[in-house]
Amino acid sequence: MILTAYLNYRTGRLVTEMGGYTPFGGSELSYGIPPASVLGLNQGDTPQLRLRVFDPFDDDDAILLPAGSTLRAVVKAWDDHNGDPLAAIEDDDWDKPADLTDNAATDLTDDPAGFYLGTLSLAGDDLAALLTAGVGAQYTHLQVQITLSDGTVRSSQWVPLMILSDVARSGDGAVVATSQPSPSAVLYYKDITALTGGGSTALDGIPTVGKSKLLVELYVSAELQTWRLFAGTTAEDSANGIVRPDDYNASTNAQIWQRLR
């Protein structure tokens, strides 16, 4: 089984296809409820991931990652950003192209080269724990993470995947018992220009009492950023993606902002 993915190096937009079938395109969902046409994989499968990175500022041509970069692909539960991955392809596990004519994939695309090749194992204990007795399938998400030599991390948007249990699958007559995660509205704060400092122009000034998993987008430091409110007591470290709201209280409002991208 082969899963092909195309990653926009500038924006983090990730488009996937399997067997020539592209389930979504254009304005793919990154948060909230996965689309109905989500790709399905079976527990225990070992699909090969073929990843091609391209640069929209260079005629959409394939590119090699900068020297010193590390590459990682992870599968996590749909609404889980901080937990351990259910499956992963670590940097050392990739067959990386030596140049843009390497790793040809003429059976998948008219553009025959420049693919990073890796294998996902969907047979781990963490995945088995997610698919408990009576659960036929669960929504998960695939994300690609690039860490540059200076430590900067570039994360792609989510790609929804449905993992089917190896005990009960829709193809063998069993009923797939699963429910879609609750949607999370994305709020854009056009007046916010800083992460800290309080007030109506800073992320930490957004009221958070009584709110849960609030998802916001804002334009700070000349880039569009996405932050989510999580339960937690982690100390503030805005440079590394952690901001405490001004109304944080360890007893009554233990919530922090964490950067997603």
pLDDT-derived band at 146, boundaries 50, 70, 90: very high
Contacts of 221 (CB under 8 A, 6+ apart): none
Last residue of a domain, one of 137, 172, 207: 172
pLDDT score at 210? 84
Last residue of a domain, one of 114, 139, 172: 172
- By DSSP bridging, strand 39-42 and strand 159-164 are parallel
- pLDDT higher than threshold 50 for residue 161: yes
Q: Are 31 and 141 in a shared domain?
A: yes
Q: Residue 80 is part of which domain span?
A: 2-172
- pLDDT higher than threshold 50 for residue 107: no
Q: For 22-35, how does the pLDDT look when each residue is reduced to its tens digit (9 = 90+)?
A: 333 333 333 444 45
pTM, 2 dp: 0.59
Nearest one of 118, 132, 128 to 88, comparing CA atoms: 118
- Tell me how far apart the alpha carbons of residues 44 and 253 are, in angstroms, rounded to a whole number: 41
